[in-house]
Structure 1
Amino acid sequence: MTTPTTFDIGGDLTVGRLGFGAMHLPTEPAADRENAVAVTRRAVELGVTLIDTAFLYGGGANEELLVEALYPYPEGLLVTTKVGVARSASSGEWRLDGRPAVLRAQVEAALVRLRVERLELLQLHRVDPDTPLADQVGTLRELRTEGKIGRIGLSEVTVDELARAREIVDIASVQNRYNLLDREHEPVLAACAAAGIAFLPWRPVAWGALGERAEIAAVAVELGATPTQVSLAWLLGHSPVVLPIPGTARIAHLEENVAAAGLRLAPAQRERLDRLAGQE
């Protein structure tokens, strides 16, 4: 069976299924920032068309870094960002904040920082437990009606939260923690697959654990690949709605990740990896 290489987010926004998470890119000092810009540009050179960022990543500094590296954006590139986390004016600590006024202000600011008239995919970074879900999702729906958001996504949600949000507005994507060794959100992935919703696993590689798993290491040797590549290939073959967004600040690691899109697991190899669920 051929593994699809693209996915239509929201049914009409086509991206390559292996994206890039910008969270780990340093925005300072100068030498590190220069390298981060180079990594970002190399990702696009390698054909990546989905880049994930968020206001939380440096209070907008990560978004500004992407603009420095990529603006004007190449045709077909999707830069998706997230809102709903704010820094306390008194303590300086980050906290969930899904109040309508905050979400609206953060979207307006993201439009300015990213230099776009519309955020083609805007994700709620987390559901704020102190604000009704209907208010949070309803505000994003209003912003979509106003033309400031193209498609709406959620992050770190349960099956129930996803279902309740979908009663209010179409949900185009879900971004939950998920990888070969951590499948806690398998029910959420199943719900996304049933509805044709893009599932963007964050932490798509189990940090530091893959190489220690004999089965993963064995499959990697059989394929002449790395454990990281095997993990990403498993994700791409696990469900056609999965869009991994591995992140790195090193070009060599980026190239390793992107190459995983061309790796094919034999059915027997996939079965061996499937059995690792719950063994982390």
Structure 2
Amino acid sequence: MKKGIDIGGTFIKVLWEDGKKEKHYIKDLKKDREALMEKIREVIKAGNPSGVGIAVAGFTSLNGIVYKSPNIPALDKTDFRKVLEDINIPFVVGNDVNLGAFGEWYYDYRDSKILLLVAVGTGLGTGLVYKGEVFFGVCGSALEMGHHTVKKGGELCNCGRKGCWEAYCSSYAIEREYKKLTGRTLKDYEIAEKAKEGEEEALKVVESFKDYLITGLMNGVHIFNPDRIVLAGGVIETFKEFLRDVPEKVKEISEELPALCLKISFSRAGEFMGARGALAYALKYL
């Protein structure tokens, strides 16, 4: 039986072919390369799978090398072929949101010709499926829209650049903006609760996040002309009640022609989106 594994900044999430789910806490390991690699190997081998799909948060090449993981520094320069060379289990590796996009198409939207997935959590990732195939680009790093510039000379992103979309649409962006307004340090989900209670500062932060989200989505509409955009990730789930009108707002500010072809929806995969995509990719290609 095959399984999909999603290596994130806080958990490794696992989804088996029979629907069984697992979560392994790794936040304390994400700066300790040796300990993290050992944990990954342990999770991959557990249960003796017949094949494994591995989704990784970062700039991941087609041959399984993670060149940079802005939110999991211990993964930088990791070559999964070497990490797993003594483990006799077939595997495929890809960027988490690229594979997540494939999972959205594979399980929910096979009628889509061009599906764009935008996932907002610790960072912001995007993936594209064109006629049933993941668009990886020439070397595997396509669709890093989280690191396209939306404000030149703007806020610092975890990738080291300034003004990236992720620097305005991510958990750390929300937390940074709230601290600027209030001087208080809260987690994104705590800020969401404050907003639900009607706190003015929290609502301002939500509106700023939402404005940048809508702007970035409009850019995606104009660049790719997708027929389906799927919104996913922990931050999207946490703030979903404030985002119900995002599909309408994106279509309002986009050009009429691409807007006519477009549907925007929220992922049904929940926090196992990346693991589901990795499993789908393994099911198709292993």
TM-score by length of structure 2 reads 0.31
Richer in strand (by share):
2
